[in-house]
Structure 1
Amino acid sequence: MRKGMVFALVLALAFMAGGCRNEVRTVPEPPPQAPGETETATEGEPTVVAPLTGQVVTVPASHRAVMAMVNNAPKARPQSGLDKADIVYEVLAEGDITRFAAIYHSQAPDVIGPVRSIRPYYIELGAGFDAVMVHAGGSPDALAQLREGGYAHLDEIHNPRYFWRDASRKAPHNLYTDLTRIRRAMADKGYPDVGKLPRLPFVDDPRQDPVGVPARKVEIRYMATYRCGYEYDAARQVYKRFTQGKPHRDRTTGEQLAAVNVIVLEAKHRVLDAAGRREIDLAGPGRAYVFQRGVMQAATWKRVDGVLRVYGEDGAEIPLYPGNTWVNIVPDAPGLTASVRYE
């Protein structure tokens, strides 16, 4: 009897061991990765949608935007870093030359510049993004507005250690910085690195093309001596940028600048003084053209929640396609129709 019980116990233990061995060998493999998933989720870096471009990125969505004033005088071209801006505004400064207000959030160029001075209407643009504004001096009205409004800003005149001069160019067209220096300055000055970003609308289905009239080539005349333009590249679904009839390239990369969305709007301009400083009405409303995927839509614009927004004939805000956006602001005289040609 005792021998039989021992034998049965040995058999039971052997069976259990074999069962455990079988379980180890037959552990099911993980299910296949679902379409659209990326390995970043398993690496602890979940993807997020950049609020100013609508593109999936792996950077913090809450960190603060930066607006840099970038020179567009002939001796300042080609510039560096405009290719990495989420949004670029091109607006007249003094004379017949425009200046760029480049909004950085989802990408970080190696170099930004040449950096130039600021004006009140550029401050209005930057304030809509709660951006830290980077500049080299400014008009008396702009400097007073920055000071009295308590805006977060970085002025090279008083903070040269966060900038550098390029010896291959002459001042004032040789001042540069980068986001590493800018964010270091923000920390030194106690500026929060978390900002309040606006909500921008993006198309529900990027595979759907916009409805409008053909516009594969766009020319914008600001003044008699300055013009810029865009040509649509259907393969890349972007508008390649031109300045004075030549490809507008980034100095650092050598690549031609391009935009997914191009908006041209007219605003009231008024010359204030003998130096040619201007007052520009960025409240609106006014007329606008929206260029996307080789098509133009006529629109109206107005500033809502601090941001210039465009609206279709039905009154709904026109959504953007995922990617960067360039906004060209032209004077109301001679106006949008006379300043912009497209075909």
Structure 2
Amino acid sequence: MAWGRSLGLLLVGALLVTLAAGCRRAPAPEPPAAGPADEAPAVPAPKPVYCPLDGLPVEDAVLVNRRPVAVMIDNLTGIGSQSGLDKACWVFEILAEGGITRLMPVYLHQDAPTVGPVRSARHYFLDKALEFGAAYSHCGWSPQAQRDIQRLKVISLNEFYLPQVYWRVRSKKEPHNVYTSTDRLFQELDRRGLLTNYSRSWELEFHDDPSALSGPSAKKITLKYPGGYTVEYVWDAGIVDGGYRRFVGGRPHKDAETGQQLVARNILVQFVDGTRVLDKEGRLDMKLTGQGSGRVFQLGVTYEANWSKGSRTDFTHWTEKNGQTVKLARGQTWVEVMPRGAEVSWE
């Protein structure tokens, strides 16, 4: 009887041990060591996009795939400051009748909500617009410009026929009161199917190491056009990356919308021949094709240069005296087109 009770106890004990062992969780197997094939593939960093006209970084690549637009801007003394020049990649300043200049900003990746005052076309400004493949915004035209716009098949954005693209302000007298915006100009090109349908021929290079640039110091530049119109640029190293503050008639040249003084990163002085009066209104002609001399101001220094342009549609190619292509500092470039012999000084 005692033997039977002992056997029963042994059987119960064995059963409990078995149940306890069954309730225990088996240890998880060690995960295999990660090999090269198991590593997540590296995601390449997005390639930076730079504007081909001013070399500045651009967040949206679509903006640099647009056709540029060039706008004829008033520069008559007494009309007040212009709007939108600060958003342009390039700005051209060229004499018009009466001993004054007109300005032609070229826009690509930066948009300006207000641009103006917009004035009438002059035929030699077309040479600069055409080399960018740009559409040309203007309000009317000279007889010579009208002829060349038709003959050269320039994309004309004439206010006379596009009231939806332009507006007039009451605070200024005609014809100094016409304004537009880059948004309206680009929309008009898109409507015509011309916004991206074009080929490029730009030949621009930018400094990878601006500190390597050398030349005589040029901290203050004075440009005297025939007739007494004077432009000055003063180097300011305190601006981000440095720049030349622009003055006209001894006063800071400011944007009408922001109130900020205009700043150039590069100043190209282009000396040209053939400047002459065409008609009794005093309209001018000048030769912007062929080749000639010039001077480059950038990053506080200056050096001589040459320019060449094979045809009215070719890009103006700038070279140093050693034949190497002029490299630009990244940022806005002003081109001062001046008759040969005009006074240019620096210190």
TM-score range, shorter chain: 0.7 to 0.9
Which residue of 1 is the match for residue 282 of structure 2?
A: 276
> Following superposition of structure 1 onto structure 2, how do residues 124-163 of structure 1 map, counting pairs within 5 Å?
124-163=127-166
Native 8 Å contact 2:269 2:335 kept in 1: yes
> Are residue 251 (structure 1) and residue 256 (structure 2) matched?
yes
Structure 2 Cα separation of the partners of residues 146 and 85 of structure 1: 23
Native 8 Å contact 2:85 2:91 kept in 1: yes
Change (3 A) 1:93 1:11: same
Structure 1 Cα separation of the partners of residues 298 and 23 of structure 2: 78
> Following superposition of structure 1 onto structure 2, how do residues 132-281 of structure 1 map, counting pairs within 5 Å?
132-197=135-200, 198-206=202-210, 208-236=211-239, 237-268=242-273, 269-281=275-287
Which residue of 1 is the match for residue 12 of structure 2?
A: none
> Following superposition of structure 1 onto structure 2, how do residues 312-331 of structure 1 map, counting pairs within 5 Å?
312-331=320-339
Native 8 Å contact 1:289 1:297 kept in 2: yes
Structure 1 Cα separation of the partners of residues 236 and 145 of structure 2: 38
> Following superposition of structure 1 onto structure 2, how do residues 42-57 of structure 1 map, counting pairs within 5 Å?
47-57=48-58
TM-superposed CA distance for 1:225, in Å, is 3.1
Structure 1 Cα separation of the partners of residues 40 and 196 of structure 2: 43
Which of 292, 299, 307 is equivalent to 1:301?
Answer: 307
What count of residue pairs does the alignment treat as equivalent? 320
TM-superposed CA distance for 1:62, in Å, is 1.5
Structure 2 Cα separation of the partners of residues 77 and 297 of structure 1: 33
- Cα deviation, 1:155-199, whole Å, max 9, x if unaligned, reads 001112210011111111111000111122113333233443313
- Cα deviation, 1:45-96, whole Å, max 9, x if unaligned, reads x640110111111132221111011110113330000011000000011111
TM-superposed CA distance for 1:291, in Å, is 0.4
TM-superposed CA distance for 1:148, in Å, is 2.4
Q: TM-score, normalised by structure 2?
A: 0.84
> Following superposition of structure 1 onto structure 2, how do residues 56-135 of structure 1 map, counting pairs within 5 Å?
56-59=57-60, 60=62, 61-135=64-138
Q: TM-score, normalised by structure 1?
A: 0.85
Native 8 Å contact 2:186 2:195 kept in 1: no
SS of residue matched to 2:164: helix
**Identity rate, percent:** 35
Q: RMSD value over aligned CA atoms?
A: 2.9
TM-superposed CA distance for 1:342, in Å, is 0.8
Structure 2 Cα separation of the partners of residues 101 and 260 of structure 1: 17
> Are residue 291 (structure 1) and residue 297 (structure 2) matched?
yes
Structure 1 Cα separation of the partners of residues 22 and 265 of structure 2: 77
Structure 2 Cα separation of the partners of residues 163 and 47 of structure 1: 35
The higher radius of gyration belongs to: 2
Which of 335, 338, 343 is equivalent to 1:339?
Answer: 343
Q: Which amino acid aligns with 1:263?
A: L
Native 8 Å contact 1:216 1:342 kept in 2: yes
Which residue of 1 is the match for residue 3 of structure 2?
A: none
Q: Which amino acid aligns with 1:15?
A: A
For structure 1, list consecutive stretches of 5 or more residues without a partner in the other structure: none
Structure 2 Cα separation of the partners of residues 308 and 126 of structure 1: 11
